[in-house]
Amino acid sequence: MEVLAFGVQADERPLIEEAFSGRHELHCTDVFLGADTAPMAAGYEAVSTSVNARLDARVLQTLAVGGTSMIAQRSTGFNNIDLDVAERLGLTVARVSYYSPYSVAEFAWTLAMAVNRRIVRAGNRTRDFDFRLDGLMGRDLRGRTVGVLGTGKIGEAFTRIAHGFGMRLLGWDIAPNPACEALGMEYATKEELLAEADVVSLHVPLVPATHHLLDAAALRAMKDDAILVNSSRGGLIDTDALVDELRRGRFSGVGLDVYEAEAGLFFLDKSVEGIDDDTLARLVTFPRVVVTSHQAYYTREAVTQIAETTARNVDDYVAGRRGENVLVPAAPTA
């Protein structure tokens, strides 16, 4: 089968080509799938998309008219796909339900440490041969409290690192994770966690119930000198409310690998034309904030797993199998 893969990064390309080699004829483009680019898929029975593709009703209709019947998303999250429309159009949609949780957990701690120890500011200074220490003081993590919102596979990996730091562990989830409890994690309400945590990290999926999980009220409930990290989905935080809190001088540091309006920005070079997103432009000006462009998952191990799983999802489709990664058509109910 011929497969058109949208939004393939240069580092990713050899890994996805290796995964598909000898199985399907793969065509890669660095263009992201959207309303303007969907006609490129005409004649391809299967397409592969990245997490920043916007697959709304218009895009899905264009794909279906062009002959596409299978969408293989190269991510765990799928909030960018209108699954109801996909099902009405008879499309098969699959995702990558699992890849290395360590990639994201380790990067979340990278962000936490970068803002805590002022790494970006220090690096910028030394480039100018400014070796002063003023304004670079951080804090020991040992003995402090970390709050983990979402204790699934990634949250558990994040918790194990926190345990290694010697931190007190607080968790919040719909159900406790026994592995986290074995490390000494106490489960609390969201309000209790936010009020007590020195470091707050988000590891929950973006669904309607978690949209703006950290809204204005939740952000106000956090400690003034807390560190906030989000390596999950941008929509978990009300960014305008976060900017308001930062303007008031709150939070010791904020590390964001995701942004709720990142589609059309992240993964692209906007250095020449600039951006017209005033919220993001303001956010990156705060000296205590580090923003990266959705790269937490971006390790060779994780991307290799993603590519191999995507190829297997296409294998399953060709063979008429319903694998565990299929989102549409919906699984039959008992």
Q: What angle do CA 242, 246, 247 make, to 5 degrees?
A: 115
**Which residue out of 233, 250, 288, 312 is catalytically annotated?**
233
Query: Is 193 within 8 Å of 200 (Cβ atoms)?
Result: yes
In angstroms, the CA 36 to CA 264 distance is 12
196 noted as active-site residue: no
233 noted as active-site residue: yes
Neighbours of 121 (CB within 10 A): 16
Reference 144, options 200, 197, 220, 202; nearest CA is 197
**Which residue out of 95, 250, 294, 312 is catalytically annotated?**
294
294 noted as active-site residue: yes
Distances in whole angstroms, Cα of residue 65 to Cα of each of 14, 42, 105: 30, 8, 40
Q: Where in the sequence numbering do the catalytic residues fall?
A: 233, 262, 294
